[in-house]
Amino acid sequence: MTTIDGARTSAGIAADHVGALRPTLDALEAEAQRLADWGGLLADRLLGGARLLAGGNGGSAAEAQHLTAEFVGRFDGDRKAFGAICLHGDSSAVTAIANDYGYAEVFARQVTAHARPDDVLVLLSTSGTSENLLRAAQAGREAGATVWAMTGPGPNPLTEAADDALVLPGVGASVQEAQLVAVHALCRVFDAIVRDRLGATR
């Protein structure tokens, strides 16, 4: 057992981190209906040929990429592939846009290029204040896409810019960890609805 600063143990630090996640997960559990509604709308849209776009910065970028990968690949069992674009995944586009237009435009310009009416744009952030996500939300709404935000404590500018938002309490790390649970819950609802609908039409 390692004591740090003569008081806390390394195990205690780890336990505190895990413990801080519990209130955030409790809040997420209370948002189950929102996730169910989102999963149903995504099923409607993507089965109709629309696409999912997602973006974030840093750890939230990893969450966004995880989300789109589950749709293009699969989440839990085999099913057809669905169109999903991770907005930071094209490094040449990101760096070209940042170089020519500034980093605040790296997502918005791609949304303007790719988003169509009925597409769904998911923007992930712990703070809800990143300028590049706020501009992406505006571009998404101008394109006719439905814009959802997953953020930390609100209200914040991104929740105000989105059509709907999943807002979770807690420090940044706890919010980010809970957002991964939200991503998986959303995928599970989506897959269940898609299997039911495709099975019914065979």
Count other C-beta atoms under 10 Å from residue 52's C-beta.
24
Q: Which of 7-16, 91-100, 164-173, 182-191 has the lowest mean pLDDT?
A: 7-16
Structure confidence by residue, pLDDT tens digits, 78-122: 999 999 999 999 999 999 999 999 999 999 999 999 999 999 999
pLDDT score for 7: 64
CATH superfamily label, 14-201: Glucose-6-phosphate isomerase like protein; domain 1 (3.40.50.10490)
The amino acid present at 51, given as its one-letter code, is R
Structure confidence by residue, pLDDT tens digits, 14-64: 999 999 999 999 999 999 999 999 999 999 999 999 999 999 999 999 999
pLDDT score for 201: 47
162-188 burial, b at 16+ Cβ within 10 Å, e below that, comes to beebbbbebeeebbbbbbebbbbbbbe
Q: Are 64 and 54 in contact (CB under 8 A)?
A: yes
The answer on pLDDT for 3 being more than 80 is no
The mean pLDDT value of the chain amounts to 94
Give the start-to-end residue ranges of the domains of the chain: 14-201
Question: What confidence category does residue 129 fall into, taking pLDDT thresholds of 50, 70 and 90?
Answer: very high
Going by their DSSP bridges, the two strands 120-124 and 164-167 should be labelled as unpaired
Q: Write down the pTM of the prediction.
A: 0.93
